[in-house]
Amino acid sequence: QIKDSATLTRDVLEQHFSDLKGTLKKLLDERLMCLLQEVDVIEQESIKPLDECQKLIEHGVSTADELLREGESAVDGDVGQQNEKLCNFTKKALHIQLDSLPEVPSLVDVPCLSAQLDDCLLTILKNQIFRHGTVASRPPVQLEEFVEKPGGILVRWCKVDDDFVAQDYRLQYRKSTASHFEDVYVGSETEFIVLHIDPNVDYQFRVCARGDGRQEWSPWSVPQIGRTTLVPHEWTAGLEGYSLSSRRNIALRNDSQSCGVLYSKAPTYFCGQTLTFRQVLFGIETVGQPDRRDSLGVCVEQRNGDDSLQRDKAVCISTNGAVFVNGKEMTNQLPAVTSGSTVTFDMEVVQLGPCSNEGGNFKLRVTISSNNREVVFDWVLDQCCGSLYFGCSFSYPGWKVLVF
């Protein structure tokens, strides 16, 4: 691990600084080009009026020189031509303003280009470069625990650097056969349930953190392998009143007038040990019109013909928060189920008497939680139950329930 991580760190550092060199050279070249263009623009704009002034002066000098030659010719000619030439010379001289010159700007008004290059840039860059990048012997966050869930894995992580103040965490995963990690969670929590996990398949996980007030992420934790042996929870397909997602973990109460209880495909909630239905959450994504017969809960068996889980051999919660045990409403009540609510079921086995295949007294201690409130009660059954079904029923369309 030390050698592999050291080799990887060297590669990352070399690639990063190579990229920085290329980027810095490109930026410097662009800045140089920009400054040279500024010089060209100032030069062209400043030299233009001076060029025009020079042309006017040269034209005046040329005209005066030509007039001078004509005057010399008139003086040197014979007497017959002198009068005519002198007359023409005089007329031409009167029409030319030899004493008129264009206004020449003073020397202080003429631009004189120079470059101002502040040497402090090198000092700033030097200080920034020598503070850029760090090498950590240990990442500040490490993966702590994997807990199997039906069709998912609960991943927990923790800080291992007490001086590091984390603002956000970033969890990634990939199948062991995949080449790239992908983000699955970014937030402030230190645990997350990763869904859509294939049973009995290895997945690699890694986590990093972003320090308080920082933009960059910390180094990744050491990747670790997680897997689940529990099959995912699925709703039963084919019930007319409900539409299911492709993975059959989301049920939508549709517009059909048909109603009834939608059960799980199999009794995939196991008892017999301290298991919790908090692992199998009913996340209410959208809600429709409530009805007193609505129900979310667990039961011993599937039973066709019922329109609610408010019956014997079942415990459930209605959308108005009422809790039913074997069809009887309890005096304790939970908050109403609304958009964004999460209802959880925790169960552990408490055996009252001898239990066999022929039956016997059997008690489950049930905790139902909703919106930070919970009720706890004992559910007495006349038979041993190693596993239970879950189900839901809604009278009106619009309810969308995710189970995991």
Report the pLDDT averaged over residues 131-135. Answer: 81
Average pLDDT taken over every residue of the chain: 85
Question: Which residue in this structure is represented by tokens 């001078």?
Answer: 68
Which of 54-58, 162-166, 324-328 is the least confident region? 54-58
Identify the pLDDT of residue 99. 62
Which of 105-114, 163-172, 255-264, 316-325 is the least confident region? 105-114
Report the pLDDT averaged over residues 31-35. Answer: 93
User: Quick check: 279 pLDDT over 50?
Assistant: no
Identify the pLDDT of residue 316. 95
Domain ranges of the chain: 1-131, 141-228, 242-403
User: How do residues 99-114 score in pLDDT, each as one tens digit?
Assistant: 666 666 677 777 888 8
**Nearest-5° angle of CA 291, CA 293, CA 299?**
140
Question: Which residue in this structure is represented by tokens 């030390």?
Answer: 2
Which regions of 124-235 does DSSP assign to beta strands (E)? Answer: 141-149, 152-159, 166-175, 182-187, 191-194, 203-211, 224-226
- For the stretch 189-194, contacts whose Cβ atoms lie closer than 8 Å and that sit 24 or more positions apart, written own/partner, are 190/156, 190/157, 190/158, 191/154, 191/155, 191/156, 191/157, 192/154, 192/155, 193/149, 193/152, 193/153, 193/154, 193/155, 193/404, 194/152, 194/153, 194/154, 194/155
CATH class in words for 242-403: mainly beta
User: Quick check: 119 pLDDT over 50?
Assistant: yes
Q: What percent of the chain has pLDDT over 70?
A: 89
User: Quick check: 201 pLDDT over 50?
Assistant: yes
179 or 58, greater pLDDT:
179
* Alpha carbons 171 and 206: distance in angstroms, whole number: 6
User: How do residues 136-191 score in pLDDT, each as one tens digit?
Assistant: 778 899 999 999 988 899 999 999 888 889 999 999 999 988 889 999 999 999 99
Banded pLDDT at 390 (limits 50, 70, 90)? very high
325 or 347, greater pLDDT:
325
Identify the pLDDT of residue 281. 46
User: Quick check: 59 pLDDT over 90?
Assistant: no
**Nearest-5° angle of CA 246, CA 391, CA 230?**
60
* Alpha carbons 369 and 276: distance in angstroms, whole number: 11
Identify the pLDDT of residue 203. 97
Tell me the CATH number of domain 141-228, given options 3.10.20.30, 2.30.110.10, 3.80.10.10, 2.60.40.10. Answer: 2.60.40.10
* Alpha carbons 29 and 242: distance in angstroms, whole number: 64
> Which H/E stretch holds residue 45?
helix 2-76
Banded pLDDT at 280 (limits 50, 70, 90)? very low
User: Quick check: 215 pLDDT over 80?
Assistant: yes
Closest CA to 1 of 144, 147, 138, 113: 138
404 or 287, greater pLDDT:
404
For CA atoms 51, 53, 55, 57, give the dihedral sign: negative
List 155's β-bridge partners, or say none.
146, 192
Distances (CA, A) of 292 to 240, 308, 310, 338, 373: 21, 10, 10, 14, 20
User: Quick check: 208 pLDDT over 90?
Assistant: yes
User: Quick check: 34 pLDDT over 70?
Assistant: yes
Identify the pLDDT of residue 363. 87
* Residue 250 near residue 402, CB atoms below 8 Å: yes
28: exposed, middle or buried (Cβ count in 10 Å: 0-12, 13-18, 19+): exposed
